[in-house]
Amino acid sequence: MKTSALVGSALAVAIVAASMACGNSTRAQPKVKPGGGAKLVDPYKASLAFARCMRQHGVPHPNPDSTGNFHLTPHQEQLMRKATPRQHEAAERSCFHFLKPVVSTKPLSAHAKAQARGALRAFSRCMKSRGYDFYESTPVGRNLSRGRAFFGFQRADPRLTKVQSTAPFLHARTACEQKLNAKLDAIIAADRHEPQY
């Protein structure tokens, strides 16, 4: 599952990646069964079960791609924002058991969080080069529960609310987010010593 799982679910506030922060562990992971055998867990099936469970709990979560990763489109982001943070948290608590066999819940190191803040500064420069200088407050990276991490900015620029739903802004943000997601994936995979696929 890549870092970009659930990226942008709270972008109205900043650039929030309240993700599973699990690096690129997209290969099936062995899970030991009673009796000593190992069972391979398919990341796609695990992620699909998670997405279905989230929807059953009132969060309009999209399905994963064929490798089990979640990448939200701007439209999916808007749909996800219809659920409250409390609904998201309750749904994740209820559904996380589907992902547990295929994600790492190890907290990110201080070094990785510092690197992530550097990636956020690069995102800020990317947006500024496209005419949107809204991401200039202090970048933040912190660990959350269940191996998730928050990456964002300390405060939102009030001007953001006027443009955040416009097509040019969404196009610029998507381009800059792709670069950010790739950097965050690499940072997390390296921190958790996971292979890049």
What is the H or E stretch that residue 173 is in? Answer: helix 167-191
**CA quadruple 105, 110, 115, 119: dihedral, nearest 10:** 70
According to DSSP, the residues that pair with 30 across neighbouring strands are 40
pLDDT at 194: 64
What is the H or E stretch that residue 167 is in? Answer: helix 167-191
pLDDT per residue rounded down to tens, the chain (197 residues): 443 333 333 332 333 333 333 333 333 344 444 555 556 688 999 999 999 999 999 999 999 988 888 877 778 888 888 899 899 999 999 999 999 888 888 899 999 999 999 999 999 999 999 999 989 889 998 898 888 888 888 888 888 888 888 999 989 998 999 899 889 989 988 998 765 44
Domain boundaries of the chain, sorted by first residue: 29-191
pLDDT at 3: 38
pLDDT at 28: 39
Alpha-carbon distance of 170 to 164, in angstroms, equals: 7
pLDDT at 93: 92
pLDDT at 41: 82
pLDDT at 52: 96
